[in-house]
Amino acid sequence: MILFKLFCEFLKIGSFSFGGGMSTLPYMYEMARNTGWITEERITNLISMSQVTPGPIGCNIGTVVGLNTNGIIGAIVCNLAFIIPNICFVGVAYKFFNKIQKSENVNEVIKVIRSAALAIILSSSITIFQSAFLNENGIINYKSIILGLFIYLISKYKKINSILLIIISASIAAICRV
């Protein structure tokens, strides 16, 4: 029964993940609240880890949720359910792309989807911002804000590899106990 629930939950998440990995996060947080399979804090930590591991955020989180709830079979089920909608969508889109690419109706639908994806990504960004810069009591963590601004400025003005930036920020956080 748990495999079926995992499959349905990740099929739903995969079906509505327009806009890339960040757009899946509100669905992931909802899943965490509704099922208890993973905590919201763990999702936020996995987002950070996903920046240095291969694959989509949804697959990385699906792997962890699946392993925690039903071992390797659970991880496989979560990942398959997450990617099936995308494979189907791309297959259908490829088949009809040449016929529909100049359609005004299709272009209008894509604009609406893009706007909705942006709103979902913004919602995820606010959630991540809150978990990164506020403690569990809602008090501002100034060390995290300073570290975040420092890494942002380095990434904006210097051409430093993002993996190196993550390593630098993790090292500073460990030393300064951010």
* Overall pTM surpassing 0.85 (yes/no): no
Q: In this predicted structure, what is the pLDDT of residue 173?
A: 82
How far apart are the C-alpha atoms of 79 and 70, rounded to whole Å?
Answer: 13
Closest CA to 47 of 21, 15, 70: 21
pLDDT band at 34 (very low <50, low <70, confident <90, very high): very high
Residues 112-137, mean pLDDT to the nearest whole number: 81
pLDDT of residue 100 exceeding 80, the answer is: no
HSE, side-chain direction, 13 A CA sphere, residue 70: 16
Considering only residues 13 and 95, tell me which one the structure prediction assigns the higher pLDDT.
13
Closest CA to 65 of 89, 92, 87, 38: 38
Please, what's the b/e burial string for 3-24 (b: 16 or more CB within 10 A of its CB; e: otherwise)?
beebbebbbbbbbbbebebbbb
Q: In this predicted structure, what is the pLDDT of residue 6?
A: 96
pLDDT of residue 152 exceeding 70, the answer is: yes
What are the pLDDT digits (tens) for 1-22? 899 999 999 999 998 877 677 7
Closest CA to 120 of 6, 27, 31, 15: 27
Average pLDDT, the chain: 85
Closest CA to 43 of 124, 121, 147: 124
What are the pLDDT digits (tens) for 42-80? 888 888 777 767 778 888 889 999 999 999 999 999 999
pLDDT of residue 99 exceeding 90, the answer is: no
Residues 31-51, mean pLDDT to the nearest whole number: 86
Q: In this predicted structure, what is the pLDDT of residue 9?
A: 94
pLDDT of residue 178 exceeding 70, the answer is: no
How far apart are the C-alpha atoms of 171 and 95, rounded to whole Å?
Answer: 48
pLDDT band at 135 (very low <50, low <70, confident <90, very high): confident
How far apart are the C-alpha atoms of 64 and 43, rounded to whole Å?
Answer: 10
Percent above pLDDT 70 for the chain? 98
